[in-house]
Structure 1
Amino acid sequence: MFFSTKDTGPVADAVKRHWVDTRLPASLRPYARLARWERPIGWWLLLWPCWWSAALAAIAAGNSWPNPWHLVLFFIGAVAMRGAGCTYNDLVDVDIDSKVERTRSRPIPAGQVTKFQAKVFLVLQALVGLAVLLQFNTFTIVLGIVSLVPVAIYPFMKRFTNWPQLFLGFAFSWGALMGWAAEFGSLSWSPILLYVGGICWTIGYDTIYAHQDKEDDALVGVKSTARLFGDRTKPALILLYSAATILFTISATLADAGPAAFAGIFLGIIHLGWQVIVLDIDDGDQCLKLFRSNTAYGWILFAGFVLDALVSG
């Protein structure tokens, strides 16, 4: 049966005492862990470029608020597609995950679900994402379908390049194009620059995340920017976060944003600067906390853009 699974306990780095482990029926918990429902940071990071783009589109269109329906759709889509992406990633990486301390307790290598069950669950999540996508205009639907290309190739990149975080950026920042396209049915330089800035931001935060696994990655031959940058991680983060901030600023300027939007970007760079200053690349627990703090960064930028729309709309 599809839901015939065994619950051997939570994933090693999962949030402790999460509702997934305390309230869901035992047969459903492995699927929730496949989708990373107990770790919402992933769908927040996928969602933020969508919401930023929708807010900038509202400013450009002279609206007082991002389209609420679009925000809801992006939220549902981010949760569904992040879950689908994680499930796909775990199917691709099962051999690697079984050799890494932090990931060997994931549902597939731990034997909580079979590969077939994971594939069925992947299809179900993808169908939810498709249902969301079909609510938008034709241009946005096509753009969303194209996004499957970077999503499909990302899990394989850690085997071939020191820059798998770049390919994660291609996939996770795609929403920077989607929010604008949903409003206008086209693209312009503002969302494109927002997208490129999002890629720089993604490389930065995922480099911090990857420092948790650098020893195991070296043993199994997995590549990452954490291993590439090594002791030069802080200078690299300064360059990446500075580039992201500059690109976000130009994007906001091209969207005809006002002072509130730029205030949000300024407060955001303070937050990113704090990450760089306190970072200890040899402290895995701290790396995880700093990685998760990017939810706060997303809120800072989004609040500035929304406030600007309210003031100028």
Structure 2
Amino acid sequence: MHLKKISLFNYKNFGDAVFDFDSKINCFTGRNGIGKTNVLDAVYHLAYGKSYFNPMAVQNIKHGEDFFVIDGAFDKDGRDEQIVCSVKKGQKKILKRNGKIYDKFSDHVGLIPLVIISPSDRDLITEGSETRRRFIDTVISQLDAHYLQDLISYQKVLVQRNALLKYFAANRTVDKETLGIYNEQLNALGQPIFEKRKKFLSDFIPIFSKHHHAITDSAESVQLVYQSDLSDKDFLELLDENFDRDRVLQYTSAGIHKDDLSFEIDGHPIKKFGSQGQQKSFLIALKLAQFDFVKKRSGEKPILLFDDIFDKLD
């Protein structure tokens, strides 16, 4: 995968800018605040249909303007691909491939394999489980369109089940039949997601460990520990067991939407026991493993973006 050119119109601090790229290594240098990271984020935007740093699309529009456009020209296995992403205030985001508008953004995921390494990756350590689930889902979805569709469908059913629980509480009633339908749907979608996450991590962890050892060359050991409610119990059984609790909370308290990935160093949470340098090495190894994993499984070398990676290294 080779990004040949990118054009930015009213994107963040850029009014009108064009960048041409070599097929190998490209570097941006300059003082702080000139927009180096913003160029990388624009490239990410074309791969994923959203910003890596600010998911609120309209907030990426240049101050004083009412739209932005990112236009990228790629070479994918000798085939030209033009990807255009545009946002106008008050309107839906538009993502186009070779002039054709996508009906669903999910259809675009995986076309442009890309990995970014940034100081913002520290959120994977400091933020909640949703951030780490998103990392797992991002990697798998780049390679498995069915996984992404199951994930989207699961979230829709989850929202419906939670709405039903709120209805039960508001009306002091229970409809076991309707609840059972949602439970069956969550199970049918959630179980394959759990199995694919588990398989992914069993393949991914050795790659991560290899990169971490190469970066640190130290005796410390690091672990990625998958934590899921489904590891010990059947999903339907979990839903039944937690029904009374769910009625009180008015949301579904168990399931793959509660999965987490524990980051550990020598058996302890790296968030509490790792230095800034150790955390940074951990995250770089994680992202390099992502690069290798996607490259091996897709047969295509992803675009690799580095943003100030030597910050906070011991």
- Determine which structure has the larger helix proportion and give its number: 1
Which structure has more RCO (C-alpha within 8 Å, separation ≥ 6)? 1
In which range does the TM-score fall when normalised by the shorter chain? Answer: 0.3 to 0.5
Larger Rg computed on CA atoms? 2
| TM-score (normalizing by structure 1) | 0.33
